[in-house]
Amino acid sequence: MAADPDSKKLTRLLERMFEGRLVPFAGAGISLGAQHESRCDFEPSTAAMKRALARALHSMIEASSPAVLDALPEEMADLAKPEAHCKYNLDRLAEAAHWLFGAAGVCTILAIPAFAELQPRPAHRYLAYLAREGLITEIITTNYDCCIERAFRDSFGPPAGGGVTQSQSDAAFKVIYDLDSYRRGGGLHQTGHGRPTLRLYKINGCAWAYTYGRQAAGQIILSERQLQDFGARRWARDLLADRVRTSALLFCSFGSEEPQVRHTALAIIDEFRDSANGHDPGALANAPAIVPHKRVSFVQAQLALAYHRAHYGSANDVNYNDAEALAAALGEFVLTISDIDETAGPREPIEADLFFERLYQAAMSRLIRRLLYRDGGFYAWLDTLTCRPGVWCESIRANLYNTGTEFGLKKTLFSLVKPPQDSSSATGAQAGTGPQCCEKPQDSPAPPIASVAGVAPRGPARP
């Protein structure tokens, strides 16, 4: 299944990536299916968190005395029903649980420390490989887990046998989850060895930081009040506002009702009305892209339509057709499987693992092509060895690429590449350490580094 060479949206993403403008915004769906190191029963999903809160509320109500029950608000009885997880959103259930159990109690009910021990999915690993190439230098996420951190460290390989040390790999990325960590790492763009630094912004908190006492339970954002009080976390609000204005945000598997993200993004997009009317929104440098987990959610559709309206007119215009505008907005900004596979149906959703695999392959394909250009460093090196560097480069191109495709390397080459290590694999080593911020020595070997056409991501410069 090859990427569609004519996909305007995929080409646009690649262009923004190579310009340094692409900023992935990862939601809960990207970690769906991630496995815990030792707990096979742990499910890192919004649905599982809602069930846990509903059970805790129900148990509390069942054990309460009649006097306590009489003092509780009427709505609490409905929230404490076993089936409440089907009726209420996570933030509403968390709001009730915060009121009764406190922030620390909610974190215990939801087993927040367990999120720090989740193993990366393929999507996390491909994001890490793109970051190793310097093509992605910032990621924003609402997830508490540490999958991206683990994947990034694993991409360097084990220290034994030529891999870099943990301190060297940790210097190449910074995990930012509060104002203090933002001050220390938010402005760090490269390491002392000149390599790009990946900055991971965890705007809803970090499971590792909570587990090891670097973040209070109240800073793990869950409840309605916490989500709405985005102004108290100005570093995160201002970061998101700036990236909406200046970067191409790639919303992947994000579609939940999180007012701090939705309202901030919509307010910034509304600024574009006075300055961008008449422009093709898809061609703008900060045009967003949306990769839905399953179907397009209301939040995703709202963001796409708002950006479209800001450039083509408002809902108050006499000749404005909302249905046509929504269809145009979804077609412009939402990626489906047909954007990476020309044989698929246009409405089929795309899993995050497959999407980032194809995005990584397309990016590596473009990088390899750059090496073969006449003004490239590889061509210049060949020119010192042979009088016919162009023949060599053409021969390499003919052997690597399918004729007439911009992105697709030959499938036979991909059959030789080890897939990213998934946590469900019974063989291969596990990453036995925590994420970057825990600063523990890495004793276990890391999963094999995936590569395209046998070209592994570049490691950091040696001291």
Task: Note the pLDDT of residue 165.
Answer: 61
The mean pLDDT of 365-380, rounded to a whole number, is 82
Task: Note the pLDDT of residue 346.
Answer: 63
Strand 248-252 and strand 289-291: the pairing is: parallel
The residues, ordered by sequence, that sit 6+ positions from 431 with a Cβ below 8 Å of its Cβ are 119, 120, 150, 153, 154, 442, 444, 446, 447
Q: Is pLDDT above 50 for 5?
A: no
Q: Which residue did the predictor score with more confidence, 227 or 429?
A: 227
Task: Note the pLDDT of residue 88.
Answer: 81
User: What Å distances lie between residue 404 and 3, 14, 409, CA to CA?
Assistant: 12, 18, 11
Assign 290 a pLDDT band (cuts: 50, 70, 90).
very high
User: pLDDT digits over 74-119, tens only?
Assistant: 677 677 676 766 778 888 889 989 988 999 999 999 999 999 999 9
Same domain, 150 and 221: yes
Task: Note the pLDDT of residue 130.
Answer: 94
Same domain, 91 and 191: no
Q: Is pLDDT above 50 for 442?
A: no
C-alpha closest to that of 37 among 435, 316, 321, 379:
435
CA distance 431 to 435: 10
Task: Note the pLDDT of residue 84.
Answer: 66
Tell me if 311 sits within 8 A of 278, measured CB to CB.
yes
User: What Å distances lie between residue 232 and 175, 206, 238, 262, 284, CA to CA?
Assistant: 20, 17, 11, 16, 31
Assign 432 to helix, strand or coil: coil
Same domain, 81 and 219: no
Percentage of the chain exceeding pLDDT 90: 30
Report the greatest alpha carbon distance in the chain. 93
Same domain, 98 and 240: no
Same domain, 373 and 416: yes
CA distance 15 to 285: 9
Q: Is pLDDT above 50 for 400?
A: yes
Same domain, 143 and 291: yes
Q: Which residue did the predictor score with more confidence, 290 or 447?
A: 290
Same domain, 78 and 118: no
Domain boundary among 57, 79, 110: 110
Assign 462 a pLDDT band (cuts: 50, 70, 90).
very low
Q: How many domains does the chain have?
A: 2
Q: Is pLDDT above 60 for 428?
A: no
- Backbone angles phi and psi of 175, in degrees to 5: -100, 125
Task: Note the pLDDT of residue 427.
Answer: 38
The residues, ordered by sequence, that sit 6+ positions from 337 with a Cβ below 8 Å of its Cβ are 344, 345, 348, 349, 350, 354
Assign 407 a pLDDT band (cuts: 50, 70, 90).
low
Q: Is pLDDT above 80 for 121?
A: yes
Task: Note the pLDDT of residue 397.
Answer: 77
Q: Which residue did the predictor score with more confidence, 64 or 278?
A: 64
Same domain, 120 and 166: yes
Tokens of 305: 């339509």
Q: Which residue did the predictor score with more confidence, 168 or 296?
A: 296
Assign 313 a pLDDT band (cuts: 50, 70, 90).
low
Same domain, 173 and 296: yes
What is the chain's mean pLDDT, rounded?
Answer: 78
User: What Å distances lie between residue 126 and 9, 116, 163, 410, 434, CA to CA?
Assistant: 19, 19, 19, 19, 19
Same domain, 75 and 173: no
CA distance 398 to 415: 18
CB neighbours of residue 396 within 10 Å: 15
Q: Which amino acid is at 457?
A: P
Same domain, 101 and 147: no
The residues, ordered by sequence, that sit 6+ positions from 459 with a Cβ below 8 Å of its Cβ are 132, 156, 157, 163, 164
Q: Which amino acid is at 97?
A: A
Domain boundary among 71, 93, 110: 110
The mean pLDDT of 278-284, rounded to a whole number, is 76
Same domain, 182 and 202: yes
Q: Is pLDDT above 50 for 6?
A: no
Task: Note the pLDDT of residue 345.
Answer: 65
Tell me if 405 sits within 8 A of 5, measured CB to CB.
yes
Task: Note the pLDDT of residue 403.
Answer: 54
Quick one: 212 exposed, middle or buried, by C-beta within 10 A (0-12, 13-18, 19+)? middle
The conformation of residue 447, written as its DSSP 8-state character, comes to P
Strand-pair partners of 252: 26, 291
Asked which of 16-25, 33-42, 337-346 is least confident by mean pLDDT, the reply is 337-346
Q: What is the pTM of this model?
A: 0.82
Task: Note the pLDDT of residue 321.
Answer: 62
Q: Is pLDDT above 60 for 282?
A: yes
Measure the CA dihedral 135/139/143/147, to 10°.
40
Tell me if 93 sits within 8 A of 85, measured CB to CB.
yes
User: pLDDT digits over 137-153, tens only?
Assistant: 999 999 999 999 999 98
Q: Which residue did the predictor score with more confidence, 437 or 328?
A: 328
Domain boundary among 76, 110, 144: 110
The mean pLDDT of 443-452, rounded to a whole number, is 37
Q: Is pLDDT above 50 for 50?
A: yes
Q: Which residue did the predictor score with more confidence, 48 or 6?
A: 48
Task: Note the pLDDT of residue 279.
Answer: 67
CA distance 235 to 244: 14
The domain containing residue 343 runs over which residues? Answer: 1-37+114-463
